[in-house]
Amino acid sequence: MKHKNTLLSLVLILSLSLTGCAFLEKPFEEVITDWSPETTYFGDDRVFQKVSQPSYVKEDVVYQVDSDMELALLAKILFDEGTMMFYVQDGEFTIGKTYAYLDALMIHAFKFSMGTKTYSQGDSIVKSLDYVKIELYNDTVDEVNTSIETFINDKVEVVSYNVTLMKSIHDELILSTQYDTAVLDLDLKNIVDHTPFEAYGLFINHKAVCSGYAKAFMGVVQKYNIPVLTVSSNKMNHAWNMVYDGLEWKYVDVTFDDPVPDKAGRVVDTYFMLSLKDMTYGTAKIKAHLYDESSETTLDSADYIEFASYVFPSTKR
């Protein structure tokens, strides 16, 4: 069972009025420079662009971003570096689509908002910048990250083959977790801070629902520099993972491999490393997973593949 607490907003803020002489003091010529993040997880040659601004613009750093996918990836990278709010210019973004992409990358429960800051001269707007802001629902990042490291040190088998490694992660998550059946009695439209929806619930309380399993699996797999995303379906009210095995993208549903009622020591691998065809259409033993249609707020299977290839360029075939 999947749950998203989502804050999506677009706000227009008229923040600064400029005098006419502000444009006569010094001619401005825009300069674009490349910026490479410290992380190499998303590709060794990943480059974003920063854009210089006129002297009246108070923002120290402004990025030039060309797509919802690029904006989501930039937001994730900056979040990991400790930046929760940043500015971009000249972009045409779909806030719901950007959120959907970002949710595929984020381990922690978050709120996401975008808005516009404008500079005006008299009655005319002469400059506008879009801002992007991520807020966490709770301050559990350090605790979750520590729990992931502990899980790896205590539970995960040290192997060199990625598929065997991911099987160990899959199995140990199942063995240490119970599906939270209490969620069946909750009003999902009004739920707030119910930890089984998050990786926190799995690692700290050892109870989870599908998004908790999927985010936890992603959080551990990322530590081994293996490409992985979370897939969400409103149509199914469910979440699972797509992961790269070195040759192609495969699909894992840890939740469905931990059936109810929970039995100590039981591990199922029916939904481990499936092809897109088997995951989408099902078989005699596999329940078909229903993707949403592609829209301004949701992603279909092709969107996820396109985004995965963009985020992890080494996986392109």
Count of CB atoms within 10 A of residue 234's CB?
A: 16
Q: What is the mean pLDDT of residues 53-62?
A: 93
Strand ranges (DSSP E) for 66-152?
A: 85-89, 110-121, 124-136
**How high is the pLDDT of residue 28?**
81
Of 188 and 129, the structure prediction assigns the larger pLDDT to 129
Residue 273: name the closest of 304, 300, 230, 242 by CA: 242
316 or 84: whose pLDDT is higher? Answer: 84
Nearest 5°: the CA angle 81, 230, 224 is 60
pLDDT range class, residue 90, cuts 50, 70, 90? confident
**Which residues are within 8 A (CB) of 67 and not within 5 positions of it... i.e. 6 or more apart?**
none
The average pLDDT across 46-58 equals: 94
Backbone φ and ψ for 235, nearest 5 degrees, come out as -60, -35
- Does the structure show a pLDDT above 70 at 207? yes
Per-chain mean pLDDT for the chain: 89
**Domains of the chain and any CATH numbers:** 10-136 (no CATH), 141-315 (3.10.620)
Q: What digits encode the pLDDT tens for the residues 140-191? A: 999 999 999 999 999 998 898 899 999 999 999 999 999 998 876 555 555 5
| Higher-pLDDT residue of 201, 195 | 201
Sorting pLDDT into bands at 50, 70 and 90, what band is 263? confident
The rounded distance, in Å, linking the Cα atoms of 100 and 84 is 17
pLDDT surpassing 90 at residue 21: no
